[in-house]
A and B are shown apart, each in its own frame.
Chain A
Amino acid sequence: MSQTPATSSKPAAWRTTVVRVTGGVEFWTIPVAILLAFIVGGVLMVVAGVNPFDAYAALVNGAFGTTQHVADTLIEATPLALIGVGIALCFRGGIFNVGAEGQFLLGGMAAALVGQALGTAPSIVTLLGMAIAAMIAGAAWAGIAALLKVYLGASETLTTIMLTYVATYLVSYLLNGPAKDPASPLAQTAPLTSSGLLPALLPGTTLHVGIILAVVVAIAAHLFLRRRVGGFQLIATGLNPVAARSAGLPVRRIFISVFLASGALAGLAGMVQVAGVQGKMIVNLSPGYGYTAIVVALLGRSSPLGALFAALFFGALSAGGASMETSVGVPASLVTIVQYLTVLLVIAYTAFRTLRRPSRTAEGEE
């Protein structure tokens, strides 16, 4: 009988599920899910005629066996952690920014351009300039989707995906055209000077200081959620935007801010890859970090520290998977199966819990 308005602002069930992955899942489910996924992976190896114990030994060795292997794991984990923390914050606010891939690429592009322009400046100036430019580029790209959502009600899931296509081809155009290194046949910028490169962390390995940055960002985000009024309001808004608005919380500003923050972190990850790994901007800067980071955020129960650990786990799997392929002959894609199976199991558990929760409209006449 009541004609309740604004039903459109009520979050869909799947959104509720994802938001609840945060607090709703008991911690023990994660190791259990990982174990189950590894068992399934082992069964697949047996089917493929490989001894799973040999394969997993090679995987562990590839991830942690030598100092350089540990470095590989951490290097792979860095962009996933930076992007994943931003996406986790979005999830907490009920925002589904799935366009980190585009924000990451534009961040890398902006960092490379500024790095070239400031190539002769002192390293600290160049690196700061690159980081700021990358964060602005990522945030601006996310900001488009944020404004479309807040003022026009456009679904950010769609707009961020579309914007990723635009970003990908924009970067490809720049690298094949105006920003291309004339000295190279490849679609890439000219190499950065030494002042545009991140310092090494462990001498004798390729490990750069990016991982420190990722850890600092994750801890800062964690403290923000736990201790700051803004974090409190973000969580409240994510769980029930209608009630948050009704209690006077600045819901629109919260949505826009968290969107910008996650875009900035994705952009920063792009800068870290350019300045820490490649030394220039290349077309294939990302093997899908922006998408994998979504899964990292989910596996990390949308908590910043959880995302950090999930990124390390994924980093280890991806570093170890590569060496498993070369030493035992198991395709590295099997590791990808294990990665995503883990997440699928966690989500399935959460969805199951959400479905079993008693309906909230049980009482009353309507």
Chain B
Amino acid sequence: MTLSSTQNAAAEPILRVQDSTVRFGSVVANDRVSFDLKPGEIHALLGENGAGKTTLMRVLAGLLQPDEGTLFLSGTPTTFHSVADSSAAGIGMVHQHFMLVKTMTVAENVSLGLKSAGRFFPNIARVGRELRALSEQHGLALDPNARVSDLSIGQQQRVEILKTLYRGANILILDEPTAVLTPGETDSLLELLRSLTEQGTSIIFISHKLREIRAIADRVTVLRHGKSISTFSLDQTDDATLTSAMIGRDTAPAVYNATATVRPRLEAVPRLELHGLSVTDRRGHTTLDSISFSVQPGEIFGIAGVDGNGQSELADVLSGVRRASAGSLELDGTDISSLGVAARITSGIAHVPEDRQSTGLILDLSIADNLAMETVGIAPLSKRGTLDRAAVRENALRIISEFDIRCSGPDQAVRELSGGNQQKVLLARAVTRSPRVLIVSQPTRGVDLGAVENIHRQILELAASGCAVVLISTELDEVLALASRVAVIYSGALLATYDRADVDLGTIGMNMAGQAA
């Protein structure tokens, strides 16, 4: 491994990616992405979900081979066929979800799969001694004999970093390293990274938090829709430039919600009203922080935000899958906070979950059975507890033609459908009940363009017929195209709410990165 000299701005990039393209079928995950990493530099990758950050990282880690493009290591073209190649070249990955065996000690974890420790009887004591020295050298303060399960999350992350350093990494890739950390732990991680670069390590820092990137990185490459938009020197760029590069101001969608500019009729009592809904998870963390808003009949209320900021919890609390720890929920002025999922379905709330394959549909069952799932207990699909198979089939045939679901028939397993058609099944199940409220999460994630249009039209038509819609999406374009009001969720709280007409893309981008207006 080559420890490059620090502070040499003119030096050859230690790592350079040139026009890397990765395709999954017809989806282009990385489209001629280029960026370079200088020795001793912290280079941030910034982008929304699905922008291609993870794909690029997997190329660098040797998990994926690009279809086109070249990787240069200190100027030499290189191909990584496996993780072993990438790690031999001095690249170390710190995943967002740690790859540690919790019941083992730090030294044992580092020895796992490490040939130099000895194949059958690893010399863990020696590894431990060397780790202690390395840990002191970098000021990590880790005890190699500590059991991983006894360590805090922040310390476990240090173990991951130490592991890559011990294996000779001089390029560290950190994937959303602060997502799991407390603010205090974040500060000390950033401090550690800075001291590592002073000793010659180069770092790729993946994040969507502007504040951290500004605090730590030298340069930032912005990715959007699989393309590398631009690389900026942070000391010469302001936040507004970065956020507009990230969300793509120039590609802002046309508003094709005709009703978005028309105010929905204001009823004295809103259709759906949330009063300070909060959720505390099992570990005592507040994942949803006092959410309040109301939705009128016929209105689409959009919730924008970067993934993982409380969207799943909000959808779960509204649909009844999860109980709120505080606050209340009213439907047409009646408190429904204590109702379970089934009772909420009966009272007219429909829910399209974000993950259609694991929480929405039952993939092994037929289209007809999936469409019948919520209403199977009542006429016409069953009478006195006995299924009417003909009615179940009839129901499916009607919905299939009405919603243009492409399939071989109602008996086809949902598993065999394309993502777009699976989503149509899920949405159709909700829409055909003529719900009073629709909660829809990520309606078009991983769906082809034709289906996107179909799905958007269904949501708009449902709203036009008087349903109150809560649209939760990490696709800002989608929220802006459909919603008449837009709120930004960050860290479990609503940071700001705008009328669609008043939305300023720059401001909303800043909100999504955690900065209040």
Contacts and interface: CB of A to CB of B under 8 A. Distances in A.
Interface of A: 1-5, 10, 20, 23, 227-233, 235-236, 239-240, 242-250, 360-366
Contacts of A23: 364
Contact of B362 (A4, A243, A362): A243
B358 A364 contact: no
A67 B53 CA distance: 74
A10 to B, nearest CB: 7
B176 A1 contact: yes
B175 to A, nearest CB: 9
Given A2-B307, A4-B312, A365-B55, A227 B386 contact: yes
Interface string B13-47: 00000000000100101000000000000000000
Please give me the 7 A-B residue pairs with the lowest Cβ-Cβ distance, nearest first. A248-B342, A248-B341, A247-B373, A363-B446, A248-B345, A240-B362, A1-B307
Contact of A232 (B316, B345, B387): B387
B308 A229 contact: no
B450 interface: no
Query: How many residues of B sit at the interface, in one of the four size bands?
Result: 35 or more
29 contacts: A1-B49, A1-B179, A2-B354, A5-B312, A5-B313, A227-B387, A229-B376, A231-B387, A232-B372, A232-B387, A235-B365, A236-B369, A240-B361, A240-B363, A242-B358, A243-B353, A243-B360, A243-B361, A244-B373, A246-B351, A247-B345, A248-B341, A248-B342, A248-B344, A248-B345, A360-B358, A363-B27, A364-B445, A364-B446
Given A1-B308, A248-B341, A363-B446, A240 B385 contact: no
Contacts of A236: 362, 365, 369, 373
B54 interface: yes
A243 B445 contact: no
A228 B386 contact: yes
Contacts of B179: 1, 3
Given A239-B365, A244-B362, 12 more contacts: A1-B306, A1-B308, A2-B312, A23-B364, A227-B386, A229-B385, A229-B386, A232-B387, A242-B359, A243-B353, A243-B362, A365-B55
The residue among B306, B361, B362 with the most chain A CB atoms within 10 A of its own CB is B362
A11 to B, nearest CB: 10
B431 to A, nearest CB: 15
Contacts of B342: 248-250
A230 B307 contact: no
Contacts of A228: 385-387
Given A247-B374, A249-B342, A250-B342, A239 B364 contact: yes
Contact of A246 (B306, B321, B369, B382): B321
Contacts of A20: 364
Contacts of A231: 387
Contacts of A361: 357
A231 B382 CA distance: 12
Interface centre among A231, A236, A246, by most B CB within 10 Å?
A246
B369 A232 contact: yes
Best-buried of A228, A231, A363 by chain B (most CB within 10 Å): A363
Contacts of A245: 321, 341
Which of A1, A230, A235, A245 has the most chain B CB within a 10 Å cutoff?
A1
Residue among B308, B358, B374, B445 with max Cβ neighbours from chain A (10 Å): B358
Given A245-B321, A365-B50, A360 B362 contact: no
Nearest to A22: B364
A364 B419 CA distance: 11
A313 B419 CA distance: 43
A100 to B, nearest CB: 26
